[in-house]
Amino acid sequence: MKIIEIKNCTPHEIVVRNENGKDIVFPASGIIPRIATTQVVVGELLGIPIVKNKMGSVENLPNYKEGTYLIVSGMVKEAMPERTDLISPDTGVTCIREDGKIKAVTRFNTNLE
């Protein structure tokens, strides 16, 4: 797929620091896909309810568009394994943190093999 656009579909800007130390900033687009969830009470502990989240369908996800990658949350990406246009920030050991907060990532995760 020839990349024409990378659209950030998360609620905050995504900063990617390349190997030369330069930051590439993807501003939030205002489009925020989410997974519909319901909660079921499965028990209690010391009188405090314990719930289990049941994941439903993904809502507000733009349709596939040739040449466009969508930056989404890891949960949205994992819920749509058939979508090869979805990427999520890799917040693992390679991300850059300051005071415990992520300042930049150095790579994306994908559904591609």
Q: What is the pLDDT of residues 2-51, one digit of tens each?
A: 778 999 999 999 999 999 999 999 999 999 999 999 999 999 999 999 99
At residue 57 the predicted structure's pLDDT band, cuts being 50, 70 and 90, is very high
- What is the residue extent of each domain of the chain? 5-110
Q: What is the pLDDT of residues 62-100, one digit of tens each?
A: 999 999 999 999 999 999 999 999 999 999 999 999 998
Residue 113 pLDDT greater than 90, yes or no: no
**Contact assessment for residue 72 and residue 83, using Cβ atoms and an 8 Å cutoff:** no
Q: Which residues lie below 8 Å from residue 73, measured CB to CB, with a gap of 6+?
A: 10, 33, 88
Please state the pTM of the whole predicted model.
0.86
Provide mean pLDDT across the span 48-60.
Answer: 96
Residue 1 pLDDT greater than 70, yes or no: no
Q: Which residues lie below 8 Å from residue 57, measured CB to CB, with a gap of 6+?
A: 35, 36
